[in-house]
């Protein structure tokens, strides 16, 4: 049984976080709020030394909070894709995408067989793609798994999630920025990406 390396530590919340909430580190704020393609920004930051490592991609029952976000009935199955995005050979981002069957029909069927092509390259090439609100959360590492170099001492990573609408069908994408990810500035995208 595939175990997910991360689970949400709290509730997903829109921005800005209230003063009583734990605050993300300053250097991550522009990356957590970034509405463009994270893939394109990571490719620029890594000087092109970027790759996707697929941890798992299978038809599953999404988590209750994912079903709620996708307005899915509780017993609906979805294609759950979990990846690590690596920059300069280091794991920079963990991503979990939940793709309902009804969103993977017709022209969107190609999303079923992405392999190690980045989901973002396909989504952001679609002229009609829309992105909903970005919500933030801390994701807690599943300590049953021996995934090294992913979190700081508190076993948590700051993450975000948003729903993409492709041909009016929802896709839920969550990303967590890992301990190796230490950008010196905000996301920048090269002109040719």
Query: From the list 67, 72, 99, 123, which residue makes contact with ligand ISJ (rule: CB under 6 A)?
Result: 123
**Alpha-helix residue ranges (DSSP H) falling in the chain:** 29-32, 38-45, 64-70, 119-123
Q: Which two tokens stand for residue 26?
A: 């300053």
The answer on whether 121 is annotated among ligand-binding residues is: no
Percent helix / strand / coil, the chain, rounded to 5: 20, 35, 45
Q: Which two tokens stand for residue 25?
A: 């580190």
When asked if residue 118 is in the footprint of ligand ISJ (CB under 6 A), the reply is yes
Nearby residues of 28 by Cβ (< 8 Å), 6 or more positions away: 158, 177
Identify which of residues 156 and 159 has a Cβ nearer to ligand ISJ in the complex: 159
When asked if residue 160 is in the footprint of ligand ISJ (CB under 6 A), the reply is no
Stretch touching ligand ISJ by CB under 6 A, among 19-27, 60-68, 78-86, 104-112: 78-86
- Annotated binding residues for substrate, written as ranges, equal 81, 119, 175
Interface residues toward ligand ISJ, by CB under 6 A = 37-39, 52, 81, 83, 85, 93, 95, 97, 118-120, 123, 173, 175
């Amino acid at each position: 049984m595939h175990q997910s390396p991360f689970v949400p530590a709290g509730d997903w919340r829109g921005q800005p976080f209230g003063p009583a909430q734990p605050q993300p580190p300053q250097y991550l704020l522009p990356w957590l709020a970034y509405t463009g393609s994270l893939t394109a920004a990571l490719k620029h930051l890594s000087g092109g030394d970027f790759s996707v490592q697929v941890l798992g991609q299978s038809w599953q029952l999404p988590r209750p909070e994912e079903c709620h976000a996708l307005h899915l009935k509780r017993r609906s199955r979805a294609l759950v894709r979990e990846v690590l995005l690596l920059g300069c050979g280091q794991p920079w981002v963990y991503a979990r995408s939940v793709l309902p069957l009804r969103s993977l029909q017709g022209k969107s069927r190609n999303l079923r067989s992405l392999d190690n092509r980045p989901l973002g390259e396909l989504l952001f090439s679609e002229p009609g793609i829309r992105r909903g609100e970005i919500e933030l959360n801390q994701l807690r590492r599943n300590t049953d798994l021996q995934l090294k170099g992913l979190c700081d001492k508190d076993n948590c990573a700051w993450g975000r999630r948003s729903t993409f609408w492709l041909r009016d069908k929802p896709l839920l994408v969550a990303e967590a920025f890992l301990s190796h990810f230490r950008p010196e500035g905000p996301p920048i995208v090269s002109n040719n990406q």
